[in-house]
Amino acid sequence: MKEFFKDLLKRLKPLCGLNQYLTMLESATGKEEIVALLDVLCRVADQFPMIPDADKQKIIENGVIFDTEFTGLNARVIARWLNQHKDRYTTMQAKVESEVSTGKVLTPDEYAPYLEQWLEQVKKIGNPDITQEQRIENRRKQFFGKEIEGPSFHPSTTIEQYEERELELEAAKSARLAELREKHPTLTIEELNRLL
């Protein structure tokens, strides 16, 4: 995390307009101050072991960019941002720990419900070895309950094209939402979504 904090300190100017790094370097004890700051920031980040480092970095970068009260990197602001997100990770960790076996070997009757749950999840995913046409044909059989005579349906759009179009629509929606936020900064997200 130390390298991340050092890099972030250097990038504050383009991210949010602060010259904290240069200001610290210009002082007589600038290098020592930077080393001390980086050590403190790392110690604060280490207080949140439930949050993976990659997620900590995203949380902190988002805080630098989006926190309107941000005035510079310090221990208090890093602790505040990570503290705002720790409950989500603590809850996820508790759920995982409650589902993890305690080392006891389960009998077939005890693990049968877990196996059935897993098989249901696999069924939802589907078989990756079949083609799109086979999936469509299987859905037709499932829907109509029997083999259908005559020409089968052949889509003119591939799954990749469909997914690409969905991404384009999502990007257009995000751009429009940003445009509306700029024009109407006082509206809530719900009100902005209604304008879409």
pLDDT greater at residue 20 or residue 45: 45
Is residue 128 scored above 70 in pLDDT? no
What percentage of the chain exceeds 90 in pLDDT?
Answer: 0
| pLDDT digit string, tens, across residues 137-167 | 777 776 666 555 555 556 677 778 888 888 8
- Arithmetic mean of pLDDT, 117-129: 68
User: What's the chain's length in residues?
Assistant: 196
- Arithmetic mean of pLDDT, 92-97: 54
In this prediction, residue 102 carries a pLDDT of 56
In this prediction, residue 99 carries a pLDDT of 52
Residue extents of the structural domains in the chain: 2-97, 121-154, 156-196
How many whole angstroms separate alpha carbon 22 and alpha carbon 88? 35
User: How far are the Cα atoms of 20, 40, 52, 75, 79 from residue 49, in angstroms, in the given order?
Assistant: 27, 16, 7, 16, 12
A 10 A CB-CB count for 176 gives 13
Model-level pTM?
A: 0.45
90: which residues sit within 8 A by CB, 6+ positions away?
Answer: 50
In this prediction, residue 15 carries a pLDDT of 74
- Arithmetic mean of pLDDT, 93-120: 66
How many whole angstroms separate alpha carbon 108 and alpha carbon 46? 41
Residues 89 and 51 sit within 8 Å (Cβ to Cβ)? yes
Residues 184 and 192 sit within 8 Å (Cβ to Cβ)? yes
- Arithmetic mean of pLDDT, 182-196: 79
95 pLDDT band (50/70/90 cuts)? low
Token pair belonging to 161: 């094209």
How many whole angstroms separate alpha carbon 43 and alpha carbon 36? 11
In this prediction, residue 49 carries a pLDDT of 83
| pLDDT digit string, tens, across residues 58-87 | 888 888 888 788 788 888 888 888 888 877
Residues 141 and 147 sit within 8 Å (Cβ to Cβ)? yes
How many whole angstroms separate alpha carbon 64 and alpha carbon 12? 8
In this prediction, residue 124 carries a pLDDT of 66
